Amino acid sequence: MMKPLPSVDKLTISKIKELLSGDCTPQFLNALQNDSRKGVQDLVSAYYRRKKHQETLMRRWREMCAYEKEVWSAGGLVIGVDEAGRGPLAGPVVAAAVVLPPDCYLPGLADSKTLSPRQRSALLEKITEVALDWSVGIVGPAQIDELNIFHATQLAMKQAVEGLEVSFTHLFVDGNMPCRLLDFPQRPIVKGDALSVSIAAASIIAKETRDRLMVDLDALYPGYGFAKHKGYPTPDHLASLKQLGPSPVHRRSFAPVSALCGKEQKEFGSQRTGKGR
């Protein structure tokens, strides 16, 4: 039998804080609300805020599982697919594919664009820990120039899906069209990274993978600020591009870069990068 707690007024604030870190009975919470100590009232308020936040996260998770539940309830598995890096002037386009188990819970999972770098990094670790399988596809700047960004993105998606080993029954793709290079039944979901847990998880893997690659490229080609803007056409990036000329990892088929292709960066040379993996 659980030993009854002493009277609330005999508990120290540190002890109350410890007790409030877990689940508490309504009777205990009612007793705390009658405690006159300000420190206790602050702890109680924080407890209710935390519980409300946890309930919000759970409700949001359930809403984002709506598409998956149709498949999971029939015993199937879903692959979520998303990409990162269609718009930048430099670096690769990256796609990710991920298979989540039906019983998982990833609180705070959302469209990668709405999360801070710290939140994305933390979620990436959790996603890759619980996922049944995950994979990425990477297509580099030279292939983007050769194929165009649409077909390069399709290729990256194909690479990501074909890198999986787990069998699946459904493929959810972010956007309004399927991956034309894959001969599987697919379900495109517009704004899927905000509506499907599988696609949201893929968006985080793709975004984090690409951001880390751009940090590496910043060390190889300093002066452009790749670690900061990740290759997107920010004012700082455009200014450095105009000053230095294109680097080997710039996409020469993109207008702001092609306009400066006569001014290659001499230190790095004008050679193109190799094909993306």
- Residue whose C-alpha is closest to residue 191's, from 172, 173, 170, 174: 174
Residue 113 has pLDDT above 90, yes or no: no
Q: What is the pLDDT of residue 244?
A: 93
How many angstroms separate the CA atoms of 126 and 114, rounded?
A: 17
Average pLDDT across the chain, whole number: 89
Query: 66-209 architecture in CATH?
Result: 2-Layer Sandwich (3.30)
Q: Which helix (H) or strand (E) holds 84?
A: strand 78-84
In this prediction, residue 4 carries a pLDDT of: 55
* Contact (Cβ atoms closer than 8 angstroms) between residue 196 and residue 70: no
Cα separation, 260 vs 210, in Å, equals 25
- HEC string of 166-222 equals CCCCEEEEECCCCCCCCCCCEEEECCHHHHCHHHHHHHHHHHHHHHHHHHHHHHHCC
Q: Where are the domains of the chain?
A: 12-18+26-63, 66-209
pLDDT band at 1 (very low <50, low <70, confident <90, very high): very low
Confidence of residue 90 (pLDDT cuts 50, 70, 90): very high
Of 111, 137, 123, 128, which Cα lies nearest the Cα of 200? 111
The rounded radius of gyration (Å) of the Cα atoms in the chain is 24
Residue, of 2 and 9, whose pLDDT is higher: 9
Please compute the mean of the pLDDT values over residues 109-116 and round it to a whole number: 89
**What type of residue sits at position 149?**
I
Split at pLDDT 50, 70, 90, the class of 274 is: very low
Q: Does residue 34 have a pLDDT over 90?
A: no
Query: Which residue did the predictor score with more confidence, 104 or 57?
Result: 104
What gap in Å lies between CA 10 and CA 32, rounded to an integer?
Answer: 11
The answer to whether residue 17 scores a pLDDT higher than 60 is yes
